[in-house]
Amino acid sequence: MKEIKFSLVYRDMWQSSGKYVPRKDQLAKIAPIIIEMGCFARVETNGGASEQVNLLYGENPNDAVRTFTKPFNDAGIQTHMLDRGLNGLRMNPVPADVRELMYKVKKAQGVDITRIFCGLNDVANIIPSIHYAKAAGMIAQATLCITYSDIHTVEYYVNMAEELIAAGADEICLKDMAGIGRPEMLGKIVKRIKTAHPQIIIQYHGHSGPGFSVASMLEVAKAGVDYLDVAMEPLSWGMVHPDVITIQAMLKDAGFKVPEINMNAYMEARRLTQSFIDDFLGYFIDERNKYMSSLLVGCGLPGGMMGSLMADLKGMHVAINSYLKEHSKKELSTDELLVMLFDEVKYIWPKLGNPPLVTPFSQYVKNIALMNVMFLVKGQHRWGMIDKNSWDMILGKAGKLPGKLDNEILELAKKNKLEFFEGNPQDNYPNDLPRFIEEMKENGWERGLDDEELFEFAMHEKQYREFRSGEAKKRFELELEKAIIEKCNCHNFEIPDIRVLKYPNAEPVVSSVSGRILWEVDFNEHSQEPVHGKHVKENDTLCTIQTKYGLELVSSFCNGRIVGIEKKQGALVTKGQVLAYVEKD
Banded pLDDT at 561 (limits 50, 70, 90): confident
Q: Which residue has the higher pLDDT, 371 or 123?
A: 123
Per residue in 53-63, pLDDT (tens digit) is: 999 999 999 99
Angle between helices 361-377 and 334-351 (to 10 degrees): 120
The pLDDT score that the predictor gives to residue 252 is 98
Q: Indicate the burial class of 170 (C-beta count within 10 angstroms; 0-12, 13-18, 19 or more).
A: middle
CA–CA distance from 519 to each of 485, 522, 530, 571 (Å)? 24, 8, 7, 10
Mean predicted confidence (pLDDT) in 73-84: 98
Q: Which of 184-198, 519-533, 570-584 has the highest mean pLDDT?
A: 184-198
The pLDDT score that the predictor gives to residue 325 is 87
Quickly count helices (H) and strands (E) in the chain. 22, 16
Domain ranges of the chain: 5-289, 296-426, 503-584
Banded pLDDT at 394 (limits 50, 70, 90): very high
Cβ count within 10 A of residue 268: 17
Amino acid at 331: E
Mean predicted confidence (pLDDT) in 433-462: 97
Give the CATH number of domain 503-584; options: 3.40.50.2300, 3.30.420.40, 2.40.50.100, 3.40.30.10.
2.40.50.100
> What residues does 7 pair with on adjacent strands?
42, 229
Least confident of 182-196, 271-285, 388-402, 561-575: 561-575
Mean predicted confidence (pLDDT) in 525-535: 57
HEC string of 265-301 equals HHHHHHHHHHHHHHHCHHHHECHHHHCCCCCHHHHCC
Same-fold call for 5-289 versus 503-584? no
The pLDDT score that the predictor gives to residue 254 is 98
Amino acid at 507: E
CB burial string 238-266: b at 16+ within 10 A, e below:
bbbbbbbbebbebbeeeebebbebbeebb
The pLDDT score that the predictor gives to residue 504 is 63
Nearest to 51 by CA among 41, 62, 35: 62
Q: Is the pTM of this model over 0.75?
A: yes
Per residue in 133-190, pLDDT (tens digit) is: 999 999 999 999 999 999 999 999 999 999 999 999 999 999 999 999 999 999 999 9
Is the Cα dihedral 77, 81, 82, 83 positive or negative? negative
The two beta strands, 113-116 and 139-145, are parallel
Nearest to 24 by CA among 133, 139, 109, 112: 109
Banded pLDDT at 289 (limits 50, 70, 90): confident
Cβ count within 10 A of residue 551: 11
Q: Which residue has the higher pLDDT, 541 or 160?
A: 160
Least confident of 33-47, 199-213, 512-526, 534-548: 512-526
Peptide bond into 530 cis (omega under 30): no
Mean predicted confidence (pLDDT) in 274-283: 91
Mean predicted confidence (pLDDT) in 532-554: 79
The pLDDT score that the predictor gives to residue 295 is 84
Nearest to 134 by CA among 164, 93, 104: 104
DSSP string, 318-361: HHHHHHHHHTT-PPPPHHHHHHHHHHHHHHHHHHBT---S-TTH
Is the pLDDT score of 444 beyond 90? yes
Q: How many CA atoms lie within 13 A of 140 on its CB side?
A: 23
> What residues does 406 pair with on adjacent strands?
none
DSSP string, 179-219: S---HHHHHHHHHHHHHH-TTSEEEEEE--TTS-HHHHHHH
The Cα–Cα gap between 546 and 549 comes to 8
CA angle 314, 319, 322 (to 5 degrees): 125
Angle between helices 96-108 and 433-443 (to 10 degrees): 60
The pLDDT score that the predictor gives to residue 119 is 92
Q: Which of 207-221, 283-297, 504-518 has the highest mean pLDDT?
A: 207-221
Averaged pLDDT score across all residues of the chain: 89
The Cα–Cα gap between 55 and 68 comes to 16
- At a CB cut-off of 8 Å and minimum separation 6, what does 213 contact? 176, 179, 206, 207, 241, 242
Percentage of the chain modeled with pLDDT above 90: 64
Cβ count within 10 A of residue 128: 18
Percentage of the chain modeled with pLDDT above 70: 92
Per residue in 470-528, pLDDT (tens digit) is: 999 998 988 888 777 776 654 344 444 444 445 567 788 888 888 888 876 443 444 44
Cβ count within 10 A of residue 446: 10
Give the CATH number of domain 5-289; options: 3.20.20.70, 3.40.190.10, 3.40.50.10860, 3.30.565.10.
3.20.20.70
The pLDDT score that the predictor gives to residue 569 is 78
Q: Is 486 helix (H, G, I), strand (E, B) or coil?
A: helix
Q: Is 130 helix (H, G, I), strand (E, B) or coil?
A: helix
The answer to whether 181 and 146 are in contact (CB under 8 A) is yes
